[in-house]
Structure 1
Amino acid sequence: MQDSPNPLSVALVATPGVQEAALLGLTDLFAVANRFAPGRIVATRVDQPVPHRFDVVLFLPSLGGSRGAPDHPLALWARDQHRQGARLCSVCAGAFWLGAAGVLDRRPVTTHWALEDEFRAAFPAARLEPEQILIDDHDIVTAGGLMAWIDLGLFLVGQAGGPALVSQVARHLLVDPSGREQRNYRTFRPNRGHGDAAILAVQTWLETHHPQPVLAEDMAAVAALSGRSFLRRFRAATGLTPSAYLQNLRIEKARGLLERTPTPVAEIGWAVGYADAAAFARVFRQITGVTAGDYRRRFAIA
């Protein structure tokens, strides 16, 4: 592979509390790429605005809770870089900095699934898709969880040197270059701190009654509420309809059984409340992105 006359210049933005592992990891990943294709990527750590224009400006995860603000110098600098043609990228909470830069309205974007509620509240005009590991929207590229810097790094390697270079780097680093989604890893942790005692009683009841045929009327009876009041208060407290909550709870219970036990998949479906194996398979894949068998192969605890 020939030396590139136009290397891809990448600014690795070190915001307050930056995850150093991501910053150093991307630096190493790009260094490996340059072994196979010398001079193809030039990565620079940026702690404060600099006059140089970059091809890519990348905001990394923050372990210190950094979220940025519209008047922060780095957010203003990123906005100016974007206006000059730079591609803006983020990993995990780095998406908050892109939001602060004002570039995410009506744009598809992802971040760590655990930050979904906070992100939606901060940037309601963005089209958040938290189930995705990476979203390429041409001039805005966002990656999901803390370790998704690997996915974004390989994506940028592909932009600089094509799929053959991605394959070389991925094989050298022993990483899978494609095929992951955040929902493969996402866990169901419903809100229990909402302060509605009647709804909390239903949530606690469902933890042991989810294998049974459960209707909204049954939950309303546990809450001692009318049907209409129950539906309104349940959604306000949990963010989900009762049926969606029940499905997510059942699949979360199934995940645990798949991870910890050798119980056959069909029996697990029955144990968490699905009399129809096909229905269990369909819902499991819809929520997790993989089949129950694939999930067990990937996440079973030895």
Structure 2
Amino acid sequence: MPSIAVVALPDAILSGVLGPMEIFALANQIVETRSGRHCPVPFPNISLVATERGSVVGSTGVSLRSDQSLEECQADIVILPPVGGNVVDHLGDRSLINWLKQQQEVGTILASSCAGAFFLAEAGLLDEKPATTHWYLADLFRVRYPLVDLQPQRMLVDGGAYICAGGVMAWQDLALHIIARFCDLELAAQCAKMFVMDGTRQAQTPYFMFDSPRDDTDQSIDPGVQHTLRWMKGHYQDAVSVDELAGMAHLGIRTFLRRFKHATGQTPMGYLQQLRIEAARQYLEITTKTIEEVIGLCGYHDSSAFRRVFKEKTGLTPKEYRRRFSRLSEV
């Protein structure tokens, strides 16, 4: 029966610290109820550890008191939770990084959710291996750790000796996966039902948001490209060619394409497609318009082409997306 330690990192998101512990405790309770109190529970030792024994302040300002210091910890599975703020600010704790390396050497399974993967990567434990983290942090992660095979579309990656879960709340997926892997699928399903959680999520793509870090308000962007970006945001449903967009910017085609890519990281048509898909998502979330109406409002004339691109970008069909994310009581 594996022992589990959750690391209380400074500025940790406390749901990601306490949440997994609650799920593992529930798994123990279910087994006791099902098999009797004298039956061994799956997770007999669930502890909270920190760099040093004592209080650790989380992202909300609330303090937790750790059971053990890192040096005292002897767990089979170690979980690194999400942290708030700028994760890079927390990567300078070399005692934690060196401890993670030591844990890997003695066969401890290292698990992370959200930004916790940065600590594993900082220790070099994910080089040449698949991993995931929060989709919003993907660009930063790739820049810092180019040797890691980052797959941000995935909700969870199990590499055997390590496990990475994606978004802030993916500690739920991580905890359920650990229960399924070290106990059984039935127990994991029971925990998911008791906590009313979706235990079947495989991808983060439905949660991706179109968020270009540089847009039409950035004064460092070429004024012509700024003008074009503003036009595209207001007229994403209109048919337009690259030649016409370059003309709006008063730039030659090659110069326009180069400056547009520098400003947005995308081609003009790729950017326009992102705008259209984001608009479609909004329509599906907050209106009762039919899918065919949404397709027309977003500038698509080929229904099959729209459905193909939408599935590619979100991982769901338009109907599935509306069913999961509609903010209306009835659609």
State the alpha-carbon separation in 1 of the partners of residues 172 and 93 from structure 2. 30
Q: 1:288 to 1:194 in 2, by over 3 A?
A: farther
Q: Partner of 1:65 in structure 2?
A: 86
Tell me which residue corresponds to 1:40.
42
CA distance in 2, matches of 1:195, 1:64: 26
**Runs of 5+ in structure 2 lacking a partner?**
32-39, 52-69
Q: Distance in 1 between matches of 2:276 and 2:303?
A: 13
1:29 aligned onto 2:1:
no
Q: Does 1:195 align with 2:189?
A: no
Higher deviation after alignment, 256-265 or 227-236: 227-236
Determine the C-alpha separation between the residues in 2 that align with 1:64 and 1:190.
19
Q: Distance in 2 between matches of 1:288 and 1:270?
A: 19
**Normalised TM-score (structure 2):** 0.85
Q: Which amino acid aligns with 1:9?
A: S
- Give the CA deviation at 1:60: 0.3
The code of the aligned residue for 2:185 comes to P
**Which contiguous aligned blocks of 4+ residues in structure 1 show a shift greater than 4 angstroms?**
none
- 1:282: Cα distance to partner? 0.7
Q: Measure how far apart 1:64 and its partner are.
A: 3.9
Residue number in structure 1 paired with 2:283: 257
Q: Which residue of 2 aligns with 1:53?
A: 74
Q: Mark the CA change 1:126 to 1:153 in structure 2 (over 3 Å): closer, same or farther.
A: same
For 2:219 and 2:110, locate their aligned partners in 1 and report how far apart those are by CA, in whole Å. 36
Q: Look up the match of 1:289.
A: 315
**Structure 1 position 199, deviation (Å):** 2.3
Identity of aligned residues (%): 37
Q: Quick check: 1:205 aligned with 2:260?
A: no
Which position in structure 2 is the counterpart of 1:4? none
Distance 1:238 1:184 in 2: 22
1:145 and 1:281 mapped to 2: Cα distance?
25
Pair 1:225–1:103, CA change in 2 (3 A): same
Q: Distance in 1 between matches of 2:17 and 2:311?
A: 34
Per mean C-alpha deviation after superposition, the further-off stretch among 194-203 and 129-138 is: 194-203
Report the alpha carbon displacement of residue 70 of structure 1 after superposing the two structures with TM.
6.4
- CA distance in 1 between counterparts of 2:46 and 2:261 reads 46
The Cα of 1:69 is off from its aligned counterpart by 3.1
Q: Does 1:99 align with 2:101?
A: no
What CA distance in whole angstroms lies between the structure 2 residues aligned with 1:71 and 1:102?
A: 14
Counterpart mapping for 1:207-246 below 5 A: 207-246=233-272
The partner residue of 1:170 within 176, 189, 192 is: 192
Do the aligned partners of 1:106 and 1:125 also contact (CA within 8 Å) in 2? yes
Structure 1 residues 79, 198: CA separation in 2 closer, same or farther (over 3 Å shift)? farther
Shift of 1:153: 0.5
Is the 1:15–1:66 contact (alpha carbons within 8 Å) kept by the matching residues of 2? no
Cα displacement (A) at 1:71: 5.7
Aligned residue type for 2:192: A
Instruction: Identify unmatched segments of 5+ residues in structure 1.
Output: 1-6
Q: Residue 250 and residue 170 in structure 1: after superposition, are their counterparts in 2 closer, same or farther (change >3 A)?
A: same
Cα root mean square deviation, aligned = 1.6
Report the secondary structure of 2:184's partner residue.
helix
CA distance in 2, matches of 1:139, 1:223: 52
Helix, strand or coil for the counterpart of 1:80? helix
Q: Is the 8 A contact 1:17 1:65 kept in 2?
A: no
2:166 alignment counterpart: 144
Q: 1:71 to 1:62 in 2, by over 3 A?
A: closer
CA shift, 1:18, in A, is 0.9
Inter-partner Cα distance in structure 2 for 1:88 and 1:194: 43
Q: Taking structure 1 as reference, are residues 70 and 125 closer, same or farther at Cα in structure 2, changes over 3 Å only?
A: farther
* Offset of residue 76 of structure 1: 0.8
Alignment-derived partner of residue 134 in structure 1:
156
The whole-number CA distance in structure 2 between the counterparts of 1:74 and 1:203 is: 44
Q: How far does the alpha carbon of each residue in 1:110-166 deviate from its partner, in whole angstroms, 9 at most, with x for none?
A: 111111222112112111111211111222211111110000000111122111111
In the alignment of these two chains, the number of paired residues is 296
- Secondary structure at the aligned position of 1:8 is classed as coil
**CA positional deviation for 1:180:** 4.1
1:268 aligns with 2:271: no
